[in-house]
Chain A
Amino acid sequence: MRVIALAVLLALSGCGLPATVVILLPDENGTVGHVTVHEGGSNAELDKPLAAVNSGSEASLHNVFTAQRSDVDSEFAGALEATPRAPLVYILYFQTGLSELDPRSRDSFAAAIAAVKGAANIDISVVGHADATGSASYNLALSLRRAETVRDALVAAGIPGEIIEVGYHGANNPLIPTPPGVPELRNRRVEITIR
């Protein structure tokens, strides 16, 4: 009861959000995730837009409420202003066994270049992958060659090499899991992530 009374008091007094608080926001694409707040032996589950809880004490966890958007925007203005831009991911595909870019991926490559040139203060990951045909060591080497091909193409397009990190995962990190030996175009890829 004291918790509810406090919440009512806060709401009536226009004090805004509690000093110690957790608030769930919708993602930038509109979907709503899920947060569990643990304190002592108690939990609060937040799974609705602007669901919030005063996390200042175990007892207060039982009172999940809906935060006012205006309070959130004013009391978290600093953190919300400093949100980094969303990373962009471009996927380029390759023919079996080859490290030359498939012509069908040229548009994706051009889009990645345009995104890089339109942004400042970026870092780029170029991560190569192979499908499950061939041996593990062959696939690691192949995925590295693919990533290096893309890195070299980015550099040739005028992007400084020092902001590009190259990685390779062989066949260990498929987009589409398959049994060993099965060719899968969607796994023969290089992912360019622009942050």
Chain B
Amino acid sequence: MVAKIALHRFDLTLSSNGKAAKMRSPWSAVATILCAIALSARAEEASVGFVKALSGLATVTHGAIATPAALAMPIYQHDRLETGGDGELGVTFRDNTRISLGPNSRIELEHFVFKPATKEYGFLLRLAYGTLEYISGLTEKLAPEAMSIETPGFTLGARGTRLLVRTEQ
């Protein structure tokens, strides 16, 4: 048997995309301060994916702050992604999982942990309503039981899969 040595502290991301630290819209002092608090709380947290495709109106909500989606915008655990009536949004995660939303859709990224060095995995997406395409990445390959997609009515477990889901509000 191979001796597995778990060295939790060393599964580090040394440098991450610094875009999270940029302010986007200094509408008011209050908004700026709220942004600063939200972003500084997140500064130690690595992003888990990036916006790769976008059309029409889509929104990314970090904590209590909703921001119009933009290409290359980082996505974090617990973010909520929504599209408007003409919106389409595609995200690629750090484990190579890809998702895309059609118009009038909302998902919540409930949980995302991807640490192959210490074999820690978790990926839970919740589709509140709308249309979702999902294409599996490394989490599903390395730890299939760690991946699931929930909707208000049902739960999906997938294995090496590309799938489409639609659910009503």
Residue ID in chain B nearest A46 by CB atoms: B163
- The stretch from A2-10, A17-25, A95-103, A105-113 touching chain B is A17-25
26 contacts between A and B (CB under 8 A): A20-B151, A26-B162, A31-B160, A35-B158, A35-B159, A36-B156, A37-B156, A78-B103, A79-B101, A80-B102, A81-B55, A82-B54, A82-B90, A82-B100, A84-B100, A85-B52, A87-B96, A87-B98, A121-B52, A121-B72, A123-B17, A140-B10, A165-B17, A166-B15, A172-B118, A173-B116
Contact A169 B116 (CB under 8 A): yes
B positions within 8 Å CB-CB of A: 2-7, 10-19, 46, 50, 52-55, 71-72, 83, 87-92, 94, 96, 98, 100-103, 105, 116-118, 131-133, 135-137, 151, 153-168
Tell which of B13, B83, B101, B163 touches A25, judged by Cβ atoms closer than 8 Å. Answer: B163
- Give complex CA distance A19, B137 in Å: 27
In the complex, the number of residue pairs spanning A and B with C-beta atoms less than 8 Å apart equals 200
Q: State whether the Cβ of A178 lies closer than 8 Å to any Cβ in chain B.
A: yes
The total of chain A residues at the interface (CB under 8 A) is: 63
Residue ID in chain B nearest A17 by CB atoms: B166
Contact B7 A140 (CB under 8 A): yes
Contact B153 A82 (CB under 8 A): no
Tell which of B14, B19, B161 touches A33, judged by Cβ atoms closer than 8 Å. Answer: B161
Tell which of A24, A172, A193 touches B161, judged by Cβ atoms closer than 8 Å. Answer: A24
Tell which of A82, A125, A171 touches B55, judged by Cβ atoms closer than 8 Å. Answer: A82
Contact A165 B116 (CB under 8 A): no
Residue ID in chain B nearest A27 by CB atoms: B162
- Give complex CA distance A191, B163 in Å: 27
Contact B98 A84 (CB under 8 A): yes
Task: Name the distance in Å between A28's Cβ and chain B's nearest Cβ.
Answer: 7
Contact B166 A80 (CB under 8 A): no
- Binary interface encoding of chain A residues 172-185 relative to chain B, with 1 for a CB under 8 A from any of its CBs, else 0: 11000111100000
Contact B168 A34 (CB under 8 A): no
- Give complex CA distance A138, B14 in Å: 18
14 more A-B contacts (CB under 8 A) besides A76-B131, A178-B2?
A17-B166, A19-B166, A25-B164, A26-B162, A35-B161, A79-B100, A82-B88, A163-B17, A165-B16, A165-B46, A167-B14, A168-B12, A172-B6, A173-B116
Knowing A19-B168, A79-B102, A178-B2 touch, does A39 contact B153 (C-beta < 8 A)?
yes
Q: State whether the Cβ of A83 lies closer than 8 Å to any Cβ in chain B.
A: yes
B17 / chain A contacts, CB cutoff of 8 Å:
123, 162-163, 165
